[in-house]
């Protein structure tokens, strides 16, 4: 038979387990409450996604007779469509974007906005949707050169005073090429066409735009620069909005939509 002491012990253990279960339920309930996203709820109720941007930076965003156009404008419209929302653009100066986001003048910033680690204490950033770091260009008929190491004992052109020049000179000795600086990127492109140099390093945006004017030039290999990387900013108190935007950005990348928009505007 069970002794009185054993019955008492089992009773105490049972009460302790019950208390632990109750505490667990209450803790998770509080977590659910604290992760409630009132900001996103308001957006869904209104049916409008207000997007802040500085519409003076083509091809990312600029004003036309039809309103705001550009790569970022198309990104915003596609995100809003996927969330069953209507997009509303709020234009302001670039330096005022963060302050006006905090003041609630718009819901997100989509404006060629580079990731800034120090601001992660105040805002949430989406996944990267455009990588703007330096890339390598070569002649379209050059089938051999795809990495910096392939330019050993060759010349690589850069625009003077740019981050591309700094990066090229930093990697010069390791890869064995020589850096040739030019007054403009256009001059570097012409030097590549005439075989004065065998490659050019430029930021991704400039390089993509350069291809349009010089179809005999192509981007080769993987990006060689890490920054800037463009992201979407939103209030740090809006985790559900962040999750929704990231989910749709990943779907747009997976489906090739981001690639199509990049090819359209750059």
CA 59 to chain centre: 16
Do 149 and 174 reside in the same domain of the chain? yes
- Among 84, 89, 49, 50, CA closest to 73: 89
Is the bond preceding residue 20 a cis peptide, omega within 30 degrees? no
Residue 7's pLDDT band (boundaries 50, 70, 90)? low
Do 143 and 124 reside in the same domain of the chain? no
User: 140-176, pLDDT tens digit by residue?
Assistant: 999 999 999 999 999 999 999 999 999 999 999 999 9
CA distance 69 to 62: 6
Mean pLDDT is lowest, of 19-28, 90-99, 219-228, for 19-28
Do 54 and 120 reside in the same domain of the chain? yes
Do 95 and 204 reside in the same domain of the chain? no
Do 106 and 153 reside in the same domain of the chain? no
- Name the pTM for this structure: 0.78
Q: Which residue has the tokens 């349009």?
A: 212
Do 138 and 201 reside in the same domain of the chain? yes
Q: Which residues pair with 26 in a beta bridge?
A: none
Do 72 and 57 reside in the same domain of the chain? yes
Do 64 and 192 reside in the same domain of the chain? no
**Total Cβ atoms within 10 A of residue 162:** 17
Q: What is the mean pLDDT of residues 173-194?
A: 96
- Among 128, 125, 85, 89, CA closest to 106: 89
Angle (nearest 5°) at CA 141 between 135 and 147? 35
Residue 261 lies in a domain: yes
Kindly give the residue spans of alpha helices, DSSP state H, lying in 127-202. 163-175, 185-193
Q: What is the mean pLDDT of residues 234-260?
A: 97
Do 189 and 207 reside in the same domain of the chain? yes
Residue 12 lies in a domain: no
Domain at 170, CATH number:
3.40.190.10
Residue 144 lies in a domain: yes
Residue 112 lies in a domain: yes
Do 235 and 215 reside in the same domain of the chain? no
Q: Which residues pair with 188 in a beta bridge?
A: none
Residue 150 lies in a domain: yes
Q: Which residue has the tokens 């989910």?
A: 247
Those residues with Cβ within 8 angstroms of residue 193's Cβ, 6 or more apart along the chain or in another chain: 139, 214, 216, 217
Q: Give the H/E segment covering residue 30.
A: helix 4-34
Instruction: State both tokens at 206.
Output: 């400039």
Do 111 and 236 reside in the same domain of the chain? yes
Residue 24 lies in a domain: no
Residue 13 lies in a domain: no
Containing structural domain, residue 141? 134-220
- Residue ranges of E strands in 48-145: 48-53, 56-57, 61-64, 67-69, 86-91, 108-114, 123-125, 130-131, 134-139
Residue 4 has pLDDT above 60, yes or no: no
Angle (nearest 5°) at CA 60 between 130 and 205? 55
- The reported pLDDT for the residue numbered 25 is 42
CA distance 254 to 246: 12
User: 72-87, pLDDT tens digit by residue?
Assistant: 999 999 999 999 999 9
CA distance 106 to 118: 21
23, 193, 242, 263 from 215: Cα distances, Å: 66, 10, 38, 14
Residue 55 lies in a domain: yes
**Total Cβ atoms within 10 A of residue 86:** 13
The number of folded domains in the chain is: 2
- The reported pLDDT for the residue numbered 227 is 87
Average pLDDT, the chain: 89
């Amino acid at each position: 038979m069970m002794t009185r002491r054993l019955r008492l012990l089992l009773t105490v253990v049972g009460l302790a387990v019950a208390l632990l279960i109750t505490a667990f339920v209450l803790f998770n309930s509080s977590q659910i409450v604290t992760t409630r996203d009132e900001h996103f709820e308001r957006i869904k109720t209104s049916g409008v996604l207000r997007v802040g941007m500085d519409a003076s930076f083509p091809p990312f965003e600029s004003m036309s007779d039809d309103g705001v156009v550009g790569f970022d404008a198309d990104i915003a419209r596609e995100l809003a469509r996927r969330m069953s929302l209507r997009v509303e653009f709020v234009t302001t100066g670039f330096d005022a974007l963060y302050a006006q986001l905090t003041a609630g003048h718009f819901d997100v910033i989509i404006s060629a906005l580079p990731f800034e680690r120090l601001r992660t204490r105040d805002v949430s950033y989406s996944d990267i949707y455009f990588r703007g770091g330096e890339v390598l260009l070569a002649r379209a008929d050059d089938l051999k050169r795809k990495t910096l190491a392939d330019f050993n004992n060759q010349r690589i052109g850069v625009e003077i005073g740019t981050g591309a020049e700094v990066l090229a000179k930093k990697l010069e000795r390791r890869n064995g090429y020589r850096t040739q600086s030019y007054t403009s990127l256009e001059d570097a492109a012409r030097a590549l066409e005439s075989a004065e140099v065998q490659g050019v390093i430029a930021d991704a945006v400039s390089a993509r735009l350069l291809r349009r004017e010089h179809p005999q030039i192509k981007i080769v290999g993987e990006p060689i620069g890490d920054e800037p990387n463009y992201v979407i900013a939103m209030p740090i108190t809006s985790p559900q909005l962040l999750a929704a935007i990231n989910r749709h950005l990943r779907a747009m990348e997976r489906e090739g939509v981001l690639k199509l928009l990049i090819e359209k505007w750059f």
